[in-house]
Amino acid sequence: MTDIMIKGLNGESVDVPQEAIEALRSAGRGTVFLPGEDGYDVARTLWNGMVDRRPALIVRCAGAGDVMKAVKLAQDHGLLLAVRGGGHNIAGNAVCDGGMMIDLSPMKSVRVDPAARRAWVEPGVTLGELDNETQAHALAVPTGINSTTGIAGLTLGGGFGWTTRMYGMTVDNLVSADVVTADGRLVRASSQENPELFWAIRGGGGNFGVVTAFEFQLHPVGPEVLSGLIVHPFANARDLLKRYREIVASAPDELTCWAVLRKAPPLPFLPEDVHGTEVLVFALCYTGDIQAGEQAVAELRALGEPIADVVGPHPFTGWQAAFDPLLTPGARNYWKSHDFLELGDPAIDILLAYAGRLPTPECEIFIAHVGGAMSRVPADATAFTQRNAHFVMNVHTRWQDATQDETCIQWARDFFNDAASYAAGSVYVNFMPDDEADRVGGAYGSNYDRLTQVKANYDPGNLFRMNQNIPPTTEERAAE
């Protein structure tokens, strides 16, 4: 048998004996793919169509035992390693060129204990799949807003969405996790066991190991929530955004309202002459009693003269998937993001200037207002550190034709640069593209040094580097 050439951690070629690959193939419950084999291209394809990388080896895992064997192989041979959960991350770090990829997508188990309000979730589960199981009991984990997002990457980066103001971030509701560390061991991380590791995985990304199971706290949500869209003409956006920032500043925790600037898609409740024109959309959700919600959203619904108002009781699972048609896989995507502690007039002016020249009809700018329960967690309680009530701006650039790459990416970068002087300097790691390694320190702020120390304890060789990477503390650096 001939050796398999796989890229090493420093870009070198590593000879891996064919016997080692075959042993992995025969010993596990999952599947091993080499280039050209059936299933290889499906496993390496991600949500972001700009990412087209070809690993030399893919291990599609069926359980924690498979993950342990795969990590041990990578560690023993010093292989460049990528880990895929849902494959939805904008940076595309779930797959690497020439290295080894661990694919967790077949690990789909969800077990719900409604009496204890706990859910045990494997890392291949998407948000929609999780909601399907928890909503059978009118319960939910606070997660994101796109049902095809993977629970693993979302959680490890922090996780926020429609129920965050009421119940905290996804990481605030993580009770424990099973983690395969860089030496191939399976350990449990919780407030009692490996507490530093538990602290680090709540926002520190995939830097510290491969999570094979999550235990979450559940909360009462739905099965119906008051939710929907209020669509306004772009011409009125400046005054509306100024009123919006005042209203959300005093909103109850149950109410979340985000602002979206984009060209109107051809939705059935919008007049045809509005399709393709710039609009301002308020997307809102009230997590609580629907009658109380009607009162809480009244001020937002009274603003201006909307083109359409489709706020009403909707199944929570439906609302969680409402934006899926705008985020289907295969398109080319590039994001830039800022945190704003306040949405001042100059920031609004910049938002409107760039919203007036969107490079494609699929591009959008969304402003997420977060606070409430998540802002009452101390900044050093988890690795995720930006706990002030604030606005998260995501410049979501999306297009189909590769010839538009330069135009679309430059528009996003120019927008980002022009808005930077009004931003907080922090950033949500799950919104960072692959060219922002210089922002990792700012993402973690005062928690960064502690994270490098945890990294040194659990992954001193930086095996898990295909991420927004936190390098391990070196002896020289620790002595500074």
For the stretch 71-111, pLDDT in tens is: 999 999 999 999 999 999 999 999 999 999 999 999 999 99
Which of helix, strand or coil describes residue 70? Answer: helix
- Cα-Cα-Cα-Cα dihedral sign, residues 34, 35, 38, 39: positive
Q: Identify the architecture of domain 110-220 in CATH.
A: 2-Layer Sandwich (3.30)
Which pLDDT belongs to residue 63?
97
Report yes or no on whether pTM surpasses 0.85.
Answer: yes
Cβ atoms of 175 and 189 closer than 8 Å: no
Q: Give the mean pLDDT of 43-58.
A: 96
**All structural domains of the chain with their residue ranges:** 4-103, 110-220, 224-437
Which of helix, strand or coil describes residue 394? Answer: strand
Q: Which amino acid is at 178?
A: D
Query: Which pLDDT band holds residue 476 (cuts at 50, 70, 90)?
Result: very low
The three-state (H, E, C) secondary structure of 11-29, written as one string: CCEEEECHHHHHHHHHHCC
The answer, yes or no, to whether residue 475 has pLDDT greater than 50, is: no
Rounded (10°) CA dihedral 31, 32, 35, 36: -40
Which pLDDT belongs to residue 1?
57
Q: Which amino acid is at 421?
A: S
Q: How many CB atoms lie within 10 A of CB 350?
A: 16
At 211-253, the pLDDT tens digits run: 999 999 999 999 999 999 999 999 999 999 999 999 999 999 9
Q: Give the mean pLDDT of 428-457.
A: 96
Q: How many CB atoms lie within 10 A of CB 330?
A: 11
Q: Give the residue from 90, 45, 88 showing the smallest Cα distance to 397.
A: 90
Query: What is the H or E stretch that residue 383 is in?
Result: none
Q: Identify the architecture of domain 224-437 in CATH.
A: 3-Layer(aba) Sandwich (3.40)
> For 4-103, which CATH class?
alpha beta
Which of helix, strand or coil describes residue 136? Answer: helix
At 280-327, the pLDDT tens digits run: 999 999 999 999 999 999 999 999 999 999 999 999 999 999 999 988
Q: Give the mean pLDDT of 335-360.
A: 96
At 332-342, the pLDDT tens digits run: 999 999 999 99
- Determine the Cα–Cα distance for residues 212 and 281; give it in Å rounded to an integer: 38
Which of helix, strand or coil describes residue 172? Answer: helix
Which pLDDT belongs to residue 84?
97
Q: Which amino acid is at 217?
A: Q
Which of helix, strand or coil describes residue 333? Answer: strand
Which pLDDT belongs to residue 3?
83
